Amino acid sequence: MSVEPLFTTNGELVKGPLLLIPQTFGDDRGFFYESWNQRRFHADLIAAGTPTAEVDALQFRQDNHSRSNRGVLRGLHFQLPPEPQGKLVRCSVGAIFDVAVDLRLGSPSFGQWVAAELDAQNHHQLWVPVGFAHGFLTLSDVAEVQYKASGFWNRSCERSLRWDDPTIAIEWPLERASVETPSLAEKDAVAPLLDVLKAGGEVF
């Protein structure tokens, strides 16, 4: 497993999110790879600058699995305390454009986004730590996404951020999904802008 930091489109490092690239062993029978190893994952987080005490306290509490059609955009989602969630995301079928947005007040990258393409061929995974909103756009006819969450789902803590907030200006590759407007859940279509969340104290 190798680990890479993520940068904005302007080349600025956003501390926290990481791209995990597993070592894959393949032959004419198929392939094998280790999708998660607690010891290695914790070591990678510490090497990337995450405080040791924070890493030691990290436990995955829930696994989720979604199936989405081409052009579906899920997000941008996050949970506030007392049940915040970090997410380790992978795509086992198809391909997605996966995004994390920094919602940490005081962070030099507050309101900025990073992204990675995750698909069934590259086996890459995106670590989205607590303090970030997460969402993805389905690029293939069908995509199945699995992620480990460090907190239980909690309706009262769950929040959404507008996918097309102009102050964030995510460069969603809609043309690759063959859509002009993505397919959204009702709650995501009416999600608030970042300025509204910030004014209401609903950021980190």
Is 147 catalytic? The answer is yes
Is 77 catalytic? The answer is yes
Question: Quick one: CA torsion of 171, 175, 179, 180, rounded to 10 degrees?
Answer: 60
Tokens of 23: 């070592």
Q: Annotated catalytic residue: which of 123, 124, 134, 147?
A: 147
Output b/e per residue, 126-157; b: 16+ Cβ within 10 A. Answer: bbbbbbbbbbbbbbbeebbbbbbbbbeeeeeb
Beta-strand ranges (E) seen in the chain are 2-7, 13-21, 24-27, 30-33, 62-69, 73-79, 87-93, 95-102, 113-119, 125-128, 132-138, 142-149, 158-160
**Alpha-carbon distances of 105 from 109, 128, 202, 203, rounded to whole Å:** 9, 16, 10, 7
Q: Annotated catalytic residue: which of 77, 123, 124, 134?
A: 77
Q: Put residue 16 in one of left, alpha, beta given phi > 0 → left and psi -120 to 50 → alpha.
A: left
Residue positions annotated with a catalytic role: 77, 147
